[in-house]
């Protein structure tokens, strides 16, 4: 094990965890204090109204004693939104914005992301699981569908970059997902393990291409998919071959690599094994979303402290977040987005 891969003494554990409800119980607070995860993720079960979310975010950070602990959310727009009306606006799906002409589409995507960033910044949420860089592929499972910006890798990358720029301008870190590409999955990885038999050259030219074009982004989330041309046995999240050969080398991504949710049924084995195997394969941080205490205890059992290289990647992202926020007129931006979407 190299020094960059070794756990760093005193660093938080390499895990992002969920919580069960709208506020922390005393038991959860004690568990998080002792487990010391890097950060947290919020879901619909954790959201009621703005003041409650702000209090929950503050309580999560207080539990681990770090005011800068990352707090994540899936706020894409369209059907994937944890913050919903009446307290937060509804935003268009990726595919709806991509229907606009090239320049208008990029403006709409950037504005939508910038407005989402305003919502998140107001709540203390610092990381958004956006954008989806997966291609839309005919005949694939609908789990990606209208969450994708389309079929063309260069256009997907351009619109994904616009989303990243919008979030960063609002002081929120983007997560490009699902690296190295989920678009060809014929089944939903929430329920079973997809296998992609496409040859390596085709993957390089298509699925991997948007991620390569955005390889400089601060965070990425893995796909629970077997890419048979690289590793016929293990999904990307657990595959040292996919992570080293495809994600780190071919794509060139050197940001913080986060697993998709370990509780998804595409993965097998105990939660301790899943966490241990993902980190051993080269992921920097594991993600567990459902707030189930027994599962989280196993995840922590299999999770060490953040490695030195992961701490460097984390720090780079945090610097982008702190320095990236720019002034923004929300009223004008919202009106402009509505005007653009009226043209679809």
Q: Could you list the pLDDT tens digit for every one of the 344 residues in the chain?
A: 444 566 666 899 999 999 999 999 999 999 999 999 999 999 999 999 999 999 999 999 999 999 999 999 999 999 999 999 999 999 999 999 999 999 999 999 999 999 999 999 999 999 999 999 999 998 888 899 999 999 999 999 999 999 999 999 999 999 999 999 999 987 778 888 899 999 999 999 999 999 999 999 999 999 999 999 999 999 999 999 999 999 999 999 999 999 999 999 889 999 999 999 999 999 999 999 999 999 999 999 999 999 999 999 999 999 999 999 999 999 999 999 999 999 98
Cis peptide before 131 (omega within 30 of 0): yes
pLDDT at 290: 96
Evaluate whether residue 5 is within a structural domain. Answer: no
Lookup result for tokens 């960033």: 117
Please indicate whether residue 128 is annotated as part of the active site: no
Evaluate whether residue 250 is within a structural domain. Answer: yes
Cα separation, 150 vs 244, whole angstroms: 27
CATH (domain of 165): 3.20.20.300
Range of the domain at 31: 13-341
Evaluate whether residue 3 is within a structural domain. Answer: no
Lookup result for tokens 């950070």: 61
Evaluate whether residue 321 is within a structural domain. Answer: yes
Cα 76 to Cα 1, 103, 163, distances in angstroms? 37, 20, 10
Q: Give the number of domains in the chain.
A: 1
Evaluate whether residue 140 is within a structural domain. Answer: yes
Cα separation, 72 vs 173, whole angstroms: 9
Cα radius of gyration (the chain): 19
Evaluate whether residue 8 is within a structural domain. Answer: no
pLDDT at 3: 41
Catalytic residue (one of 87, 188, 190, 254): 190
Evaluate whether residue 237 is within a structural domain. Answer: yes
CB neighbour list of residue 307: distance below 8 Å, 6 or more residues apart: 4, 5, 6, 7, 8, 14, 284
Instruction: Give the per-residue SS3 of 38-81.
Output: EEEEECHHHCCCHHHHHHHHHHHHHHHCCCCCCEEECEEECCEE
Please indicate whether residue 182 is annotated as part of the active site: no
**Bridge pairing between strands 13-17 and 37-42:** parallel
DSSP codes joined into one string, 189-220: TTTS--EE---HHHHHHTTTHHHHHTTTSSEE
Cα 134 to Cα 59, 68, 88, 111, distances in angstroms? 34, 30, 26, 21
pLDDT at 118: 98
Cis peptide before 86 (omega within 30 of 0): yes
Catalytic residue (one of 207, 260, 277, 284): 260
Lookup result for tokens 């707090």: 71
Evaluate whether residue 4 is within a structural domain. Answer: no
Cα 243 to Cα 24, 25, 177, 183, 240, distances in angstroms? 35, 37, 14, 18, 5
């Amino acid at each position: 094990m190299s020094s960059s891969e070794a756990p760093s003494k005193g660093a938080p554990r390499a895990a992002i965890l969920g919580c069960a409800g709208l506020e922390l119980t005393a038991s959860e607070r004690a568990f998080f204090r002792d487990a010391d995860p890097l950060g947290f993720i919020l879901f619909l079960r954790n959201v009621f109204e703005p003041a409650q979310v702000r209090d929950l975010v503050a309580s999560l950070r207080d539990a681990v004693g770090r005011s800068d602990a990352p707090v994540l959310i899936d706020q894409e727009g369209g059907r994937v939104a944890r913050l919903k009306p009446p307290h937060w606006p509804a935003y268009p799906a990726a595919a709806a914005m991509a229907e606009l002409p090239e320049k208008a589409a990029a403006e709409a995507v950037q504005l939508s992301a910038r407005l989402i960033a305003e919502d998140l910044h107001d709540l203390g949420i610092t990381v958004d699981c956006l954008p989806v860089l997966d291609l839309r592929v005919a005949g694939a499972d609908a789990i990606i569908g209208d969450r994708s910006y389309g079929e063309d890798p260069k256009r997907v990358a351009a619109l994904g970059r616009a989303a990243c720029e919008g979030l960063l301008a609002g002081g929120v870190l983007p997560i490009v997902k699902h690296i190295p590409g989920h678009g060809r999955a014929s089944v939903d990885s929430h329920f079973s393990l997809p296998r992609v038999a496409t040859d390596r050259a085709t993957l390089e030219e298509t699925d991997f291409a948007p991620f390569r074009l955005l390889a400089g982004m601060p965070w990425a989330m893995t796909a629970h998919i077997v890419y048979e041309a690289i590793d016929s046995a293990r999904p990307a999240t657990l595959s040292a071959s996919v992570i080293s050969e495809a994600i780190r080398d071919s794509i060139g991504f050197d940001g913080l690599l986060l697993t998709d949710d370990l509780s998804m049924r595409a993965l097998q084995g105990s939660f301790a094994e899943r966490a241990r195997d993902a980190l051993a394969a080269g992921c920097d941080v594991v993600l567990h979303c459902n707030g189930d205490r027994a599962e989280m205890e196993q995840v922590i059992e299999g999770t060490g402290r953040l490695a030195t290289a992961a701490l460097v990647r984390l720090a780079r992202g945090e610097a982008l977040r702190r320095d990236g926020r720019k002034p923004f007129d929300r009223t004008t931006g919202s009106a402009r987005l509505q005007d653009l979407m009226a043209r679809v």
